[in-house]
Amino acid sequence: MKYSAYIIAGLLFVLWGVVVYGFNNPPLIIHLLIPIAGIIILLRIFFNKRISKRLKD
């Protein structure tokens, strides 16, 4: 469960790659997967630092 956010982000990235390179004209909404995956990773990094800083105090 510790790395589930990274797994979800990775799956979104792979899904994006499959759809974009698998179809000649992919739907435009599929391009939202990359920013969503990036936001998931950034949130994971941000909250991990906040939690670890709180545990040190």
Name which of 11, 15, 5, 1 is nearest 40 in CA terms.
5
Rounded Cα gap, residues 12 and 25, in angstroms: 19
Rounded Cα gap, residues 3 and 41, in angstroms: 10
Q: What is the pLDDT of residues 2-56, one digit of tens each?
A: 678 888 888 888 888 888 888 877 777 778 888 888 888 888 888 876 666 666 6
Helix (H) or strand (E) holding 33: helix 33-56
Six-digit token pair at 57? 């105090």
The answer, as to whether pTM is greater than 0.75, is no
* Single-letter amino acid code for the residue at 51: I
